[in-house]
Amino acid sequence: MRYSTRSLLNTPAFAAVIVLILTVGIGANVAMFSVIDQALIRPLPYPDARRLVSVRTAYERGIGEWVSARDYWDFRDLSMSFEQLAAYSGFPRIRTITGVDEAKRVPVAVVSHELLPALGAQPLHGRSFLADDESAAAPQVAILSYGYWQQEMGGDPDVIGSVLTVDGVPTEVIGVLAADVRFRQEVDLWQPMREDDQFIAERGKTNWSVLGRLAHGVSLAQAQSEMNVIAAGLAAQYPESNEGIGWVVTDLQRSWSENYREGLLLLQAAVVLVLLIACGNAAGLLLARGSTRRSELAIRGALGASGRR
Inform me whether the pLDDT recorded for 161 exceeds 70: yes
Judgement on whether residues 79 and 181 belong to the same structural domain of the protein: yes
Judgement on whether residues 35 and 55 belong to the same structural domain of the protein: no
Inform me whether the pLDDT recorded for 154 exceeds 60: yes
Is residue 253 in some structural domain? no
pLDDT top residue among 174 and 36: 174
Judgement on whether residues 114 and 130 belong to the same structural domain of the protein: yes
Inform me whether the pLDDT recorded for 164 exceeds 60: yes
Is residue 97 in some structural domain? yes
Q: Which residues of 49-75 are buried (b: 16+ CB within 10 A; e: fewer)?
A: bebbbbbbbbeeeeeeebbbbbbbbbb
> Pick from 184, 274, 257: which is nearest to 37 by CA?
257
How confident is the model at residue 16, as a pLDDT? 76
- Total domains in the chain come to 2
Judgement on whether residues 22 and 61 belong to the same structural domain of the protein: no
pLDDT top residue among 34 and 183: 183
How confident is the model at residue 267, as a pLDDT? 65
Lowest mean pLDDT among 8-17, 57-66, 177-186, 245-254: 8-17
**3-class DSSP state for residue 205?**
coil
Q: Domain limits at 165? A: 49-244
Is residue 125 in some structural domain? yes
Judgement on whether residues 105 and 191 belong to the same structural domain of the protein: yes
Burial group, residue 33, by CB count within 10 angstroms (0-12, 13-18, 19+):
middle
Inform me whether the pLDDT recorded for 254 exceeds 90: no
Last residue of a domain, one of 218, 244, 270: 244
Is residue 152 in some structural domain? yes
Write the CA distances from 138 to 170, 194, 294, integer angstroms. 12, 9, 88
Inform me whether the pLDDT recorded for 73 exceeds 90: yes
Is residue 12 in some structural domain? yes
Judgement on whether residues 54 and 31 belong to the same structural domain of the protein: no
Residue 188 · residue 45 · CB < 8 Å: no
Inform me whether the pLDDT recorded for 163 exceeds 70: yes
Helix then strand count (H, E) for the chain reads 9, 13
pTM for this one? 0.72
Is residue 128 in some structural domain? yes
Burial group, residue 255, by CB count within 10 angstroms (0-12, 13-18, 19+):
buried
How confident is the model at residue 172, as a pLDDT? 96
Judgement on whether residues 38 and 71 belong to the same structural domain of the protein: no
Mean pLDDT score, 144-170: 93
Is residue 80 in some structural domain? yes
Mean pLDDT score, 270-288: 72
Give the residues across from 56 on adjacent strands: 248
Judgement on whether residues 171 and 290 belong to the same structural domain of the protein: no
Lowest mean pLDDT among 114-118, 126-130, 185-189: 185-189
How confident is the model at residue 93, as a pLDDT? 92
Is residue 273 in some structural domain? yes
Average pLDDT of the residues of the chain:
83
Judgement on whether residues 271 and 236 belong to the same structural domain of the protein: no
Judgement on whether residues 156 and 274 belong to the same structural domain of the protein: no
Inform me whether the pLDDT recorded for 257 exceeds 70: no
Quickly state the pLDDT bin for 262 (edges 50, 70, 90). low
Judgement on whether residues 19 and 63 belong to the same structural domain of the protein: no
pLDDT top residue among 212 and 10: 212
Inform me whether the pLDDT recorded for 145 exceeds 70: yes
Residue 110 · residue 89 · CB < 8 Å: yes
Inform me whether the pLDDT recorded for 8 exceeds 80: no
How confident is the model at residue 108, as a pLDDT? 95
Inform me whether the pLDDT recorded for 81 exceeds 90: yes
Looking at the chain, the whole-number percentage of residues with pLDDT higher than 90 is: 47
